Structure 1
Amino acid sequence: MSLWLDMLGTEIRYVQTRNFGSIRVAEAGKGNPETIIFQHGLNGHLEAYAKNLMALSKDFHVIAFDYVGHGLSSKPEVDYTPYLLADQLGELMDAMGIERAHLSGESLGGWVSAIFATQHPERVGRLMLNTAGGLPIMTDKGRQDLRTFIDLNKRNIDNTPSYDSVQARMHWLMHENNRHLVDDELVDLRLGIYLRPESRAVLPRLNRIIEFHDDHLIPLEKLPAGTLFLWTRDNPIHDMPTVEAAQAKVPGSILYVMKGDAAHWPQYEAIDEFNSVATRFFKTGRVD
């Protein structure tokens, strides 16, 4: 199914922020009393949540957006860090009149969500860290995965991005049984974004976020009780020993391991399970 059919019913618009320029937003479920803000990963864009927005909009006001420097949002030449993107999240909430929201982020999005929650606990309802970055890496395999990821990103930075280089980058996201999900539409969409001159200019700056991963780790001891770590057994970099060690440092937190085949993009790979768990968690704070 086309991404645009998946997202039929969402409103796509641009929101002007105070210091971060124009931010592309997808929104649905206006009028529902509780808001969930979904946040994508490094070099990604809001279509990472194409399979989830309409499903969750039945019960929630849902928003996904492109981080500054990513997708079709503004691309200032600044030093990008998870802390800068947390500031952007706060400004976007201000611009949209949202005082408090539930947060769900995958990869970089989880990293930023966690940092924002430690800085502004009064603005966060429930927190879902979906295969999040920013955790201390506990295994040799995880550290090798990180080096592989940096190299895959560099293929799209040091050279002109191509269909093959973007496809390889996106295959890395998926469980081996889900590589068919990386279809022409998904690859061409990301390739089209990467080839824009303003994207080409900022990609090296974005890659430094992951190159300096250990300089901006999540302060786990400050995360709220009830935080959900939603994980997969095949998640690269931040593998099961890594998330188990992190979750043990957050009293009252929850670890849910996806039952369906998924690697780094469970919200896209195991759609029904993810949407069911997310709905249950954001309604009740529980996953069972």
Structure 2
Amino acid sequence: MTDLPEHISIWGELADVPHELRHVDVAGVRTRVLLAGAGPDLILLHGTGGHLEAYARDIRGLADGFRVVAYDMVGHGWSDTPDRPYTIDVLSDHLLGLMDALGIQRAHLSGESLGGWVVAWTAAHHPDRVDRLVLNTPGNIANKPEVMARMRDSTMAAVRDPSDATVRRRVEFLFHHKEMVTDELVLLRRAVYSRPGFVQAITNTLVLQDPVVRKDFAWEPGWVGKIAAPTLLLWTEHDPTGGLDEAAMLLDWLPDARLHVIADAGHWPQWEKVEEYLRVHREFLHE
């Protein structure tokens, strides 16, 4: 019998997982949502320019103990792209609106990159809606201009020219092990970035990489210190958006936080180090 690779495809990851993929109306925004499993609600938020498939390799493992909700944020994936700046408060309001639409009063929130920023803001400003919080490689806590410029330029280049080579470079940015970037992942991104009007949508997302706009939402101890939810900082050794010095800043600002560092991974540990990602989520969220 021929040995099968660990990862075949996104459909292969979900093939034996009972799940539902549908669109939900969130204050007029048609929002693509995947639901799986049963138990306490756990909502997963992707990063800049991303979509719910970022969590394809984790749905099975998390659905064992949670009702998992993964979705495309407003202006992302195959959700609607209304023409307005997608600042952190807008993305947070969209999350809360989705929770309302699904009848979820409180949930565990786990966000990667931009998603981590959104869930942290939500926990600080709406503490009654959040049980436990996971900030997965939340990225550029120090608001470094060079990191903002790299994120803005690489993302915009891929959307303006959604060719294989340009989009592949953008996806490879997320990985320490570039060989793990599949053609399927690249093609999905190319399909998203080729949607009509998506250049304007990503422009509305990338306002957060403008220091003038960002200052109203930038990570700082004033609002971060209001996060009452127990928080897990999930960092990696090779995150291109921020080092462990930035994790230390968050540990100082957060009232109740701990740090776990995943070795040999980049910005997407949920894809590169699935078993460790799942284990630390289960241990922390089930405490």
TM-score, with length taken from structure 2:
0.91
Residue equivalent to 1:229: 233
CA distance in 2, matches of 1:280, 1:93: 24
Residue equivalent to 1:180: 179
1:205 aligns with 2:211: no
1:100 aligns with 2:106: yes
Q: Is the 8 A contact 2:130 2:229 kept in 1?
A: no
Name which of 216, 238, 248 aligns with 1:244: 248
Percent sequence identity over aligned pairs:
38
For 1:170, give the aligned amino acid: V
1:2 aligns with 2:6: no
1:16-53 CA-to-partner distances (Å, cap 9, x unmatched) read: 1124x110001101xx3301000000000000000111
CA distance in 2, matches of 1:199, 1:161: 11
Residue equivalent to 2:275: 272
Q: Is the 8 A contact 2:127 2:229 kept in 1?
A: no
For 1:251, give the aligned amino acid: P
Describe the shift of the 1:105–1:234 C-alpha distance in structure 2 as closer, same or farther (beyond 3 A): same
Q: How large is the RMSD of aligned CA atoms in angstroms?
A: 1.5
CA distance in 2, matches of 1:133, 1:118: 18
Residue equivalent to 1:56: 62
CA distance in 2, matches of 1:56, 1:160: 35
Give 3-state SS (helix, strand or coil) of 1:251's partner: coil
CA distance in 2, matches of 1:103, 1:93: 11
For 1:179, give the aligned amino acid: K
CA shift for structure 1 position 204:
1.5
CA distance in 2, matches of 1:122, 1:221: 16
CA distance in 2, matches of 1:204, 1:225: 32
Residue equivalent to 2:5: none
1:27 aligns with 2:27: no
Name which of 69, 76, 88 aligns with 2:82: 76
Name which of 143, 146, 165 aligns with 1:144: 146
Where does structure 2 lack aligned partners over 5 or more consecutive residues?
1-7
For 1:169, give the aligned amino acid: R
Where does structure 1 lack aligned partners over 5 or more consecutive residues?
none
TM-score, with length taken from structure 1:
0.90
Q: Is the 8 A contact 2:140 2:241 kept in 1?
A: no
CA distance in 1, matches of 2:196, 2:154: 20
Give 3-state SS (helix, strand or coil) of 2:168's partner: helix
Q: Is the 8 A contact 1:136 1:246 kept in 2?
A: no
Q: Is the 8 A contact 1:53 1:63 kept in 2?
A: no
Residue equivalent to 1:13: 22
CA distance in 2, matches of 1:210, 1:108: 11
Give 3-state SS (helix, strand or coil) of 1:248's partner: helix
CA shift for structure 1 position 237:
2.3
CA distance in 1, matches of 2:140, 2:239: 14
Give 3-state SS (helix, strand or coil) of 2:225's partner: helix
CA shift for structure 1 position 134:
6.2
* Displacement over 6 Å in runs of 4+: none
1:154-206 CA-to-partner distances (Å, cap 9, x unmatched) read: 2124x33211111111111111xx11111110000110110111323312111
